[in-house]
Amino acid sequence: MLHRVTSIAVWLFATLFAVYELFISNGFYGVSLQLQKHDLNLSVNAIGSLAAISSLVYAFCQIPAGILVGKFSIRIILTLSTILVSIGMLIYSHANGVEQLLLARVIIAIGSAFAFVSIAVLIGRWLDRDKFSLFFGLTQCLGNLSVVSANMFLPQIISLLHGWKHTSLILALVGFILAIAIALIVKSSPAGKSDSIKPAASSISLLELFRQLAANKQFWLVTAYAGLLLGTLFNFGANWLIGFQGNYDSNSLAHSALVNSVMFLGVAVGNPVIGALSLKLQTRRKILIIGALSSLLLLSILILGPTFNRSIALILYFLFGFSCSSAILAYSVIMEILPTPLQGIGVGVCNTVVYLSGALLSTAIASIIRGEGASLHNVLTVDKIAFSLFCVAVAISFALSSIIKESFHK
């Protein structure tokens, strides 16, 4: 009984870090960027750079994060990561130009990079293997609920706190408090397991670990699937959806943020539901296929389709988020097809691909908007042309899903 309580406490407080960093990177970024665009007179190039830098730094930190999590204390790593994010928010609160915003985002991205790798490994160490999809889904659910909360309430909170700078300062203080809680409660592994985990990871050289990973074709297929689908979802929601929705129906920032929050609410609901459904049906592959196909159809309708009334648009965005949550099973597949020494690095590589694809998509979309904007005067048409690239990415993920093999151990 004590072990079960400790397991849940470790998982919960590690998850709170993910909730905190997602509140910032996929919630606060999207809302504050619209205000910074006015306050700091940000150009399209600056917005594209801010969007890309976060994804690029996060992506390139994932593999080192996977290596460090496998070799050192996760408790110390998560504590230092939370402090880094808090320092980034302090810099954010004093930013007066693009340079300071870029620096803040780089520091926040470095700290955030350790969140999901650490949580995945902790779940693997503290909980039964067959419960991974459920608890990792719950982590994603809580994280996306934080994004929903950010999009729904941040416009009002920022107004109440007299601007995004003061809000950034409050978020920094919350982070420092969370770092103390993580240091006191999170443990790297159960008693008796720590001695058996470290030798398994350290007895194999890094070169050999990467060689084994490179030889696993199924790992790369499912990683590419997750990269394209989740890269589209997170990048669209964090950097482009609010502005697109504003051009689409000329509504207020609060309404556009509501649309964004509904999409992430779909993800939040879908993550544990998809995890439990996969466990019930004893399949990963079929749900991956259905999720990618439905995501492609819904995104194509939302971006390229006609104007919908608000209620229908909200339903479609919720369903799109729900269908994208099928990508949570990519991490279950990774944990099932890789041996224990490779799991941390595997999750790190997968996250690298997710955010690297998001950064590349963001850079390409900014270039298209800049190029097409010179010849087309209709802003909405320019957006639709640029965002069709998201549809292409999801279409490729659907094609990949058809050749991913079933990994569920019946």
> How confident is the model at residue 193, as a pLDDT?
58
Read off the pLDDT of residues 219-239 as tens digits, 9 standing for 90 and up.
999 999 999 999 888 777 766
Most confident range, picked from 31-40, 276-285, 372-381? 276-285
Q: What's this model's pTM, rounded to 2 decimal places?
A: 0.74
> How confident is the model at residue 25, as a pLDDT?
82
The answer to whether position 39 is within a domain reads yes
Task: Report the percent of the chain where pLDDT is more than 90.
Answer: 27
The answer to whether position 10 is within a domain reads yes
| Rg, the chain, Cα only | 20
> How confident is the model at residue 196, as a pLDDT?
41
The answer to whether position 44 is within a domain reads yes
The rounded distance, in Å, linking the Cα atoms of 254 and 155 is: 6
**Mean pLDDT for all residues in the chain:** 82
The answer to whether position 197 is within a domain reads no
Read off the pLDDT of residues 322-346 as tens digits, 9 standing for 90 and up.
999 999 899 889 988 888 778 888 8
The answer to whether position 193 is within a domain reads no
The answer to whether position 223 is within a domain reads yes
Q: How far apart are the first and last CA of the chain?
A: 28
The mean-pLDDT minimum among 80-94, 186-200, 293-307 falls in 186-200
The answer to whether position 382 is within a domain reads yes
Read off the pLDDT of residues 111-128 as tens digits, 9 standing for 90 and up.
998 998 899 889 888 887
Using the predicted structure, report yes or no on whether residue 188 has a pLDDT greater than 90. no
State the CATH number of the domain containing residue 14.
1.20.1250.20
DSSP per residue, 366-383? HHHHHHHHTT---HHHHH
More confident call, 301 vs 256 = 301
Residue in 193, 190, 170, 138 with CA at minimum distance from that of residue 28: 170
The answer to whether position 192 is within a domain reads no
List the domain range (segments joined by +) for residue 324.
Answer: 2-186+203-401
> How confident is the model at residue 197, as a pLDDT?
47
pLDDT band at 199 (very low <50, low <70, confident <90, very high): very low
Phi and psi of 277, rounded to 5°?
-65, -40
Q: How many domains are there within the chain?
A: 1
pLDDT band at 200 (very low <50, low <70, confident <90, very high): very low
Quickly count helices (H) and strands (E) in the chain.
18, 0
Using the predicted structure, report yes or no on whether residue 297 has a pLDDT greater than 60. yes
Q: What average pLDDT score do residues 77-81 get?
A: 95
